[in-house]
Structure 1
């Protein structure tokens, strides 16, 4: 069998298995339950599922979508997520190693780039879990972006530490850049940003800076009590459920005041980034080449991950702050801030910026599809939060990065 075909099958099967796990994560994580124990069980009869009931996709099919023990219907979400995850894993392998869309991966092969590819499929899986949760509950548990961030900060610098001779090719000799890279000014920005962020946390701990929305829980309890009281006198409650969920999310009465606290917090890492860039740029040549990285290539990748994190967080956070000040409602959630930050740590600062601007087009496509489905089913159009759009845009950039940069007349590599 052709090795590429074999790998496609392997990644689809492994991806489908991970998709089964993502269903567990999406169900348990928002409720604060362990994602590893107890073993999977029917939520209706609590009967522990046999291993053959948990076979991805096939298990749902041979059970005919019903619990073996109590005959309760099993949501079609389970096989759909398993299939989607397996398909996206296999498609990414196909794109990277069987096409010319990302030549840096294909030239070096899976043997040299497996830490990068592994990081990318972990990120994709995390984005699927975040999309499921955000679409249902309008939240992104911070454990998801934090996990992706930690993987990026470890695996990507390690990829060049383990394969230093191929570092030049990995950093873009083929008009492709599989890794986030920072040169002199970028390294300065990373160091300055970390110092500024550390100072902001110290001031927050001391009470000099104040946490935003720290009375949110109390206000939500009051709001929910009001809704329960009003529901007793209303009919057709099922028709207004989606509206109430969204109203609750944007209910906070003083958002402008609160985001000013966030503006004070982000001021310190922002100033640190610009000061770090200024100091580093003064000590480095104006045009650095890949040859200047050879002393500690992992450091440039680590700095590139950190810069990507700061840019990803910053572009969403400042949009949230200024959008809230302009419209008087929370423009974006803090979960989106951390999500694009983690994505930026994996793909880099430029790519994180592209993802932010591609995401609205993904949202437009989703809106058209939802309006079409709503017309067909004569139901309500559900507003999807921004996290799923960021996830979709990320996958698009992973595949079409070079084509988009060429279209925008931007450099493909260092």
Structure 2
């Protein structure tokens, strides 16, 4: 399929990608309005509102359909159609531009490989990575706007997205570990680690041993646990805690589906591992799983510390599953870099949000998505030239540095809560005197 795609003229590819962008925008809008926690009858999907009148075939056409749906302004409010229309137009414009960035210009590969002859040899590989990331882009667009609307990110986006990332990484390991032997025009050749989607100690044979299998199964089990109720009450001992946890889990209607996902995942992990030492499919799957663990684990730890310090939920768990999905797509290095970029992405998002809708509270998910996109687009600089070399120097200190920063954040939030409580108490006393 990729060879057939590459054989098309570049102008035809750009045109087809623009059409694909329109269709992706329509799918994103469907997810935003119909796969959220509180579905709304906006758009051509689902049952029509009684006041909206019957559906028309034109309503299903991207962009043009939203122009036709303006007739429902009296039902959904003024300008309801503008945002979904802009989402479809933005993706139609973005997909060809991203293809040029990934494949034609080769901006994700080391600079020495951006000569036309070298890029031609890498065209199939980078086209595959581009297609892989389009899935992530679609899910992040939907998650961003659902988070804007409802301040939550539904599992129906992040759970299938994470599974898709793991399956793709296991089938086509080059999506994460594109180490290839490249011949240059001057006759020289070298092995190049194209986009640095690698584990820090990938050559270590222990990754293909029982140790690697235990790590993979442990990560998968913790992720499935995170999708359950996650509440373990220890005040009555471990036996009672397990009993309470199982009872609360069974009360949920989705426990059978979650159990099936866990068992199927363990079987799949075992199968890929059984292909034998040195198989790249196992390394691709393990890399995706470690990205899941690091991406979700960072946000989960911050959520726990913040909640303990503030004595209230500091961050929605949807942010945890979102970052786990992102890590499964781009690996642990990219997920870590995206998280540390998120405060800077927040500045951009807040400015745009202020201009469009005014001063309203913002969720954290859009920051993570924007930071992820920036991390990917600037991958050689952000990850290859900064994060990986820094990691090589500070590898032994990185975990301790993160824990220290986590502790500092907890202390700061604790005093923030004390100051806030004191100010609230003082304000309450003044109000009572008045």
Q: TM-score by structure 1 length?
A: 0.66
Answer whether contact 2:333 2:387 (CA < 8 A) is retained. Answer: no
Question: Which residue of 2 is the match for residue 154 of structure 1?
Answer: 167
1:92 deviates by: 2.0
Pick closer, same or farther for the CA change 1:81–1:178 going to 2, 3 Å: farther
State the distance in 1 between where 2:90 and 2:38 align: 25
State the distance in 2 between where 1:330 and 1:302 align: 33
1:322 to 300, 305, 329: 305
State the distance in 2 between where 1:95 and 1:122 align: 17
Q: How many residues align?
A: 325
Secondary structure at the residue paired with 1:127? helix
Question: Which residue of 2 is the match for residue 195 of structure 1?
Answer: 218
1:355 aligns with 2:338: yes
Question: Which residue of 2 is the match for residue 408 of structure 1?
Answer: 386
1:205-354 to 2 correspondences below 5 Å:
208-209=241-242, 295-354=278-337
1:119 to 129, 132, 138: 132
Q: Greater shift after overlay, 347-356 or 293-302?
A: 293-302
Deviation sequence 1:4-56 (CA, Å, 0-9, x none): 33222211211211211221111111247799xx9556445454533333221
Q: Greater shift after overlay, 339-348 or 72-81?
A: 72-81
1:60 aligns with 2:66: yes
Deviation sequence 1:319-360 (CA, Å, 0-9, x none): 111122223232221111110101101100010000001111
State the distance in 2 between where 1:132 and 1:322 align: 27
RMSD of aligned alpha carbons: 4.2
1:411 deviates by: 4.6
Question: Which residue of 2 is the match for residue 14 of structure 1?
Answer: 20
State the distance in 2 between where 1:71 and 1:149 align: 33
Answer whether contact 2:125 2:174 (CA < 8 A) is retained. Answer: no
Higher relative contact order (CA 8 A, sep 6+): 1
Question: Which residue of 2 is the match for residue 3 of structure 1?
Answer: 9
Answer whether contact 1:41 1:49 (CA < 8 A) is retained. Answer: no
Unpaired stretches in structure 2, ≥5 consecutive residues:
1-6, 114-118, 183-189, 233-237, 249-275, 393-434
Answer whether contact 1:42 1:67 (CA < 8 A) is retained. Answer: no
Pick closer, same or farther for the CA change 1:109–1:70 going to 2, 3 Å: same
State the distance in 1 between where 2:155 and 2:197 align: 24
Question: Which residue of 1 is the match for residue 55 of structure 2?
Answer: 49
State the distance in 2 between where 1:96 and 1:343 align: 18
Answer whether contact 2:179 2:191 (CA < 8 A) is retained. Answer: no
State the distance in 2 between where 1:34 and 1:151 align: 27
Unpaired stretches in structure 1, ≥5 consecutive residues:
215-292
Deviation sequence 1:173-217 (CA, Å, 0-9, x none): 445327455723666467325337638959969753566xx8xxx
Question: Which residue of 2 is the match for residue 129 of structure 1?
Answer: 142
